[in-house]
Chain A
Amino acid sequence: MPDMRPSARSLHLVACSLVFAVFSLHLRTADCQTAPQTENGEIHGRISGLRDPERHVAHHGVSLLSHYATHSSAEAAILVTPREVQAPRLSENTTVYLESEELSRGKYPVPETPATLDQKRLEFHPQVLTIMAGTTVDFPNRDPLYHNVFSYSSTKEFDLGRYPMNDSRSVTFEKTGIVRVYCDIHSEMSAIILVLPHPFFAVPDDEGNFVMRDIPPGKYTLVIWHGREEAGRRTVVVRPGEKTEFNVAF
């Protein structure tokens, strides 16, 4: 009988170890689902053939209500000086992001560094800004005159008032959705902030190349947003530890 005691103790130990091991494995699997580290994949993509969704209008000192803006010298200096006419760059007005219910349910750390939406030469830069919900966006004014950034979007309604050059205001976007941003003083200024529930998005360079990393394996919808609207959707499969090449031609 005394011999039995160590054996029973050993059995208990083995049983407990098994339970612990199973529990640990379960936890590890759960971890992988929310913030996978080793099994993630990548998307290396290229977008081509996107056409500018908005007709680009040259500004030569007169533009609609700007006819009457010459009472401010700083304003006139910017409005009247002919601006170089060029199509908006892809890196300024395009973004790609993944869409799936699983990704939306996940928990991700919110970036501590604020995103930035500049106001420069009477334009927002970039014209499309993509952030994760909970991110704070800074709105610095780089022009020698007032801007008044505002949005009446249901995702986030705000009015920052007028503030001068090199001053900035901040807004934190908690809710996901589309935020259309304008300047109350300069009616031609507009930008879009896409607030996503996850960090799986990328901004292409001016040639259309983009890289999205640390993506949990799975089948997703890749959304291409260009200018003021969605340009297209594609299905993409990300495999564990693999680099997925994905070209989107329009």
Chain B
Amino acid sequence: MNRVLCSLPLIIFCTSISPAQLNWGGEMSVYLLKSARTTSPRAVNNGDATFGWRGDFLFDAAVSDQISGFCTIRVLENQYINFDALAVRITDIASLGLNLQVGKFDLPFGNLAERRFPRRNPLYSVPLIYDYSMSLPNYAPTQYDLLRNRGLGLGMRLLDRGMYDVGVEVFGTAGILSYAVAVSNGMISANSYNTLNTNGDFGKLIRLAVTPTTGLTLGTAFSWGAYLENSGQYAARTFDPAKYLQRIGEVDLEFSAGHAVIFGEAVYSTYRVPFTHDDADLSVTGYYGEAKYTLIPRLYVAVRVNGLIFSKVTDDLVSEPWDYNVTEVEGGLGFFLDRDVLLKLVRRETHTDGGSKPKDNLTVAQLVVAF
């Protein structure tokens, strides 16, 4: 199914467009990182300074007045080439203002939008809820696995990075309201990045956002679906992975005026796991608030406050959070050497409620070139 959906945009690209209709651009980013010497998932290169790079290439092509295709390719230092997005979009269907996209695209959940790219991200990291790997994997863990892996970053992310997945989305606007409904292969925490994305049910998403006045957008989204991997390892077990659902909801805010821009998001997710006797769900709450202020032309200051709070796993023997709670503050300065050349200096401080070394930090110098 994935291959069929991904091939569709390519076929349309190759057969229908002329070079004049193709538009492209992208970003290159190089950075120098130095983190604290810890074993946490927030540490980089065991605490030794290291360089890194990434490239993002974006393409779009108009096939007709209403049909277009777009593609985002992300290349990382580890040589992986990710087709983040590859989709066909049909706009204004039957002149109803209704739009449809099919393929692999960013799921309509949250308000990360362009800030997933370094040029638009005022800091180095994406918010913790998009980035932090929890202890819960997408295969059925035992309670022992879950607690043993706390703070090690071996499981899923709450919102899996850019949340790109294969599916279909209908979206549109009606006055100050914008809406989106989507069905995707994977769930928000377990889509195509770090998982096999072979769960037994589709993820379902609904998003509504309202812009009551220019500069203020309030959004909410809800999603549900199976998140456990649907592989043969369950053959000997007595449960159906498709019945173990993730349910996740969020509210988000974007406000800007003058030289200030503020973003915020709060997420609550539950996971049904096989090991609990009374079908009690694991839950996690995540949040972030981010502010950016342009001090003078070229120079801005930005700060982000993040957090993840985990519910407790409770039975006769233990009553512990299923992962260590995390709070993180990231702040930095950005200076535009040119319109498309941005230099960032960022410092990140992370505190984990547990583990042998609960404090992490990261210092980053990042140079971004957009083209």
- Interface residue? B209 (CB, 8 A): yes
Q: Are B91 and A144 in contact (CB under 8 A)?
A: no
For A57, list chain B residues within 8 Å (CB): 21, 23
Q: Any chain B CB within 8 A of the CB of A106?
A: no
Asked if B23 and A64 make an inter-chain contact with CB atoms under 8 angstroms apart, the answer reads yes
Q: Please, which residues of chain B bring their CB within 8 A of the CB of A74?
A: 173, 176, 211, 214
In the complex the two chains form, is B92's CB within 8 Å of A73's CB? no
Which of A93-101, A153-161, A200-208 sits within the interface?
Answer: A153-161
CB <8 Å contact, B58 and A65 = yes
Tell me if A163 counts as interface (CB < 8 A to partner B). yes
B297: CB under 8 A from chain A?
A: yes
Q: What mask results when residues 52 to 68 of chain A are scored 1 for a CB within 8 Å of chain B, else 0?
A: 00010110111111011
Identify the closest chain A residue to B101 (Cβ). Answer: A62
A-B contact count (CB 8 A): 131
List the B residue with the shortest CB-CB distance to A159: B297
Residues on A with C-beta less than 8 A from B7 are none
Contact of A63 with B214 in the complex, beta carbons under 8 Å: no
B117, closest chain A residue (CB): A65
- Binary interface encoding of chain A residues 140-165 relative to chain B, with 1 for a CB under 8 A from any of its CBs, else 0: 00001110001110000111011111
Give Cα A146–Cα B214 distance, bound, in whole angstroms: 7
Give bound CA distance, A69 to B115, whole Å: 10
A168 at the interface (CB under 8 A from B): no
Which residues of chain B from 107 to 142 have any CB-CB distance to chain A below 8 Å in the complex? 108, 111, 113-114, 116-117, 119-120
Q: Report B-chain residues with C-beta under 8 Å of the C-beta of A152.
A: 297-298, 336, 338-339
Contact B21 A64 (CB under 8 A): no
Q: Which residues of chain B (276-312) have a CB below 8 Å from chain A?
A: 294, 296-298
- A167 and chain B: residue at smallest CB distance: B214
Instruction: Let me know if B178 and A162 touch, CB within 8 A.
Output: no
CB distance A165 to B89 under 8 Å? no
What's the Cα separation between A81 and B92 when bound, in Å? 7
B209 engages A71 (CB within 8 Å) = yes
A77 near B173 with CB under 8 A, answer yes
* Contact pattern, B 92-109, Cβ under 8 Å of A = 1, otherwise 0: 100001010000001010
Does A124 interact with chain B (Cβ within 8 Å)? no
Contact B298 A60 (CB under 8 A): no
Bound complex: CA A150 to CA B259 (Å): 11
Say whether, besides A64-B58, A73-B178, A146-B215, A80 and B339 are in contact (CB < 8 Å). Answer: no
User: A110 vs B116: C-alpha distance in the bound complex, in angstroms?
Assistant: 46
A156 nearest CB across to chain B (Å) = 10
Q: Is the CB of A162 within 8 A of B209?
A: no
- Report the bound CA distance from A158 to B106 in whole Å: 34
Interchain CA distance A145-B108 in the complex, whole Å:
21
Is A72 part of the contact surface with B, judged by Cβ < 8 Å? Answer: yes
Q: Is the CB of B259 within 8 A of A159?
A: yes
Which residue numbers of B lie inside 8 Å of A, CB to CB? 20-21, 23-25, 58, 60, 62, 65-70, 72, 85, 89, 91-92, 97, 99, 106, 108, 111, 113-114, 116-117, 119-120, 171-178, 180, 209-211, 213-215, 217, 219, 254, 256-259, 261, 294, 296-298, 336, 338-339, 370
Query: Would you give 15 A-B contacts (Cβ < 8 Å), ordered by A?
Result: A62-B60, A62-B69, A65-B25, A65-B117, A68-B106, A70-B178, A71-B209, A73-B217, A76-B171, A146-B215, A152-B336, A157-B298, A159-B296, A159-B297, A162-B259
6 A-B pairs besides A61-B68, A62-B68, A82-B66 with CB distance below 8 A are A61-B99, A62-B89, A64-B60, A65-B117, A73-B173, A162-B261
